[in-house]
Structure 1
């Protein structure tokens, strides 16, 4: 993996984690936690969206969208686990 792709993945993960923290009303985990949530959310969305037949195309904006939706799903699941 090249440095540029790793850097892009971290930037997309950070943006997606920050956006998902805003969407889910302050459930963010700080900068490093947001990066992890964003990257895991992008992986989760990468597994779920193709199975559902959902695609928004390629590019930076669609990567952020996919990762944000996956991160919101992940934060929702974490919230359910914390409540029980």
Structure 2
């Protein structure tokens, strides 16, 4: 997560993963929420840079990006899991 330290990234990632879990109607644990939030933020930041040319900064911006990215990851996981 750009601009955040590791501790802040874990907190924001956990919160983003939890919010995404509630939006998508999932039931994950704390560790999964943290991973979804951090990886989701990385994925969404990458997509934002490709499409818009920049990303959102700060805690709130990274939280928004993390939630969006985590929702994308949950959706993709369900799509892949549903095909098997």
Fold match by TM threshold 0.5? yes
Deviates more, 1:15-24 or 1:4-13: 4-13
Counting matched residue pairs gives 80
1:71 corresponds to which residue? Answer: 70
TM-score (norm 1): 0.87
Q: Unaligned 5+ residue runs, structure 2?
A: none
Which residue number in structure 1 is paired with residue 82 of structure 2? 83
Per the normalisation by structure 2, the TM-score is 0.87
Structure 1 gap ranges (5+) = none
Instruction: State whether residues 49 and 55 of structure 2, in contact with CA within 8 Å, keep that contact through their aligned partners in structure 1.
Output: no
Q: Which residue number corresponds to residue 13 of structure 1?
A: 13
Aligned with 2:5: secondary structure? helix
- Runs of 4 or more above 2 Å deviation: 54-57
Question: CA deviation digits over 1:26-63, x for unaligned, max 9?
Answer: x2421001001111101101110111107563211111
Aligned-CA RMSD value = 1.6
